[in-house]
Chains A and B, each alone.
Chain A
């Protein structure tokens, strides 16, 4: 089935479910009353500092990207990013560090790297699928452009 047709049908059914809720039949469109659909998941966060490999000075304005988030380092070179969502077990995610302001604050090479969460501990879950979040400190050094 074509994607567009699929989207139309799903939207149509959401609309019907809405009308049924107005009529007082809130969960009549639910698939099952018993099983919890979805999968256990958790948020994996990374925070750290980006500095120059040559001068060890923190770098401001570095673009940090994961598959689901983009942030920039502050004046102290610090960043905090959602590295990814996933099954709450040991996971690894891609992080990319990119000099986004040209010559300002120095010029640095791009770094494509992997952050590994080994034996993560999760906090703040809801007791169901959402098992909360875990955080790891991840400091990187960027080489200057040649």
Chain B
């Protein structure tokens, strides 16, 4: 059995899902908004996908500007079913998150944050929860040495772990841990799993590092093909144990691993259900979609108009059927991978998950 051998039942489900996705494209219902709340960051991660700077002179978007755009979001989306997630940079560096969060809460939007955990303490989580915080994602990239190496700070691991422990004690806030798997932490995934279980984590997401942002200059951060394939065997195994809810991130069609390593089939919802507002006001789909993927700017355009009239490259992805995608038998299920894995200038595919797994299979079968 190889990754490209998909049983009939799963193939049938994948075909049904293809129709489901096409219907979702026609509906074009916004239900997830990411806000790049700041570009400031208190870490300097090797794999950062943003153009983050430690420089505090980089101005943050005034809260009122963001909230004005959110009022326009409310004209195209039901606030109660639209999640707003603050990302960055490190969003906790903003002192007005509670005010912004409370305003969102009063407008009916659920909201959450993605954080490195460095500034999350009892007092802050309490004030955020009072402002209606509903979900937190904390990054924990391996055991101490590998996490600190990736994050560029000796205290980053203990702070992140403290944040995770703290979140385990807060009943009203849902949280998960996200791990970017790379060559350094690949060998310690079992130990990391034990640590998470011991601390009391219920949900864990695994991403692999893709070649954008700073990671583009650090190719050694990417798993070897055989490791890449073995990662999906690990995720599949852990999911079957049902001790923790583990999911692979929202990227890449994974052939026969679909339905095994994450709850949903691969579906890049960027520009279909997801929009983002970047630190400079740019309106995009996911925050790491920049360059030619930018659809407008809140300082020049009305968000409602942008959402309703633009995002054409996201809604009709036939343009992605070039290069290795052109002759791919699985294109219909994948439609050119996640948009963030396309070159922001010329649209070329930067990484194919399926091809990487196939490569890994070939290497591993040669070793047997």
Contacts and interface: CB of A to CB of B under 8 A. Distances in A.
B244 to A, nearest CB: 12
B26 A1 contact: yes
Interface stretch (B168-176, B179-187, B322-330, B336-344): B168-176
Contacts, number: 112
Interface in B52-105: 79-81, 83, 85, 105
B162 to A, nearest CB: 21
A87 B26 contact: no
B320 to A, nearest CB: 22
Contacts of B17: 16, 20, 25, 28-29
B9 A24 contact: yes
Given A1-B27, A13-B24, A20 B110 contact: no
Given A27-B263, A127-B171, A37 B19 contact: no
B205 interface: yes
Nearest to A125: B172
Contact of B132 (A23, A30, A36, A40): A40
Give the contact-size bracket for chain A. Answer: 20 to 34
A75 interface: no
B265 A37 contact: no
B13 A34 contact: no
B80 A13 contact: no
Interface residues of B, number: 46
A38 interface: yes
Contacts of B205: 33-34
A55 B220 CA distance: 87
Given A28-B17, A28-B264, A23 B134 contact: no
B245 interface: yes
B110 A37 contact: yes
Contacts of A40: 105, 110, 132, 134
Interface stretch (A4-12, A45-53, A97-105, A136-144): A4-12
Contact of A20 (B16, B80, B85, B135): B16
A29 B137 contact: no
Given A9-B26, A28-B263, A40-B132, A34 B110 contact: no
A75 to B, nearest CB: 39
B247 interface: yes
A13 B108 CA distance: 26
B251 to A, nearest CB: 13
A87 to B, nearest CB: 7
Contacts of A128: 174
Interface in A49-64: none
Contacts of B108: 39, 87
Contacts of B9: 23-24
A25 B12 CA distance: 11
B178 to A, nearest CB: 9
A29 B247 contact: no
Nearest to A11: B23
Interface in A62-94: 87, 89
A105 B27 CA distance: 53
A28 B13 contact: yes
The 10 closest A-B pairs by CB, nearest first: A39-B80, A27-B263, A33-B263, A16-B20, A25-B13, A23-B13, A9-B23, A35-B83, A28-B265, A33-B247
Given A13-B20, A29-B264, A33-B203, 4 more contacts: A16-B23, A25-B265, A29-B17, A33-B264
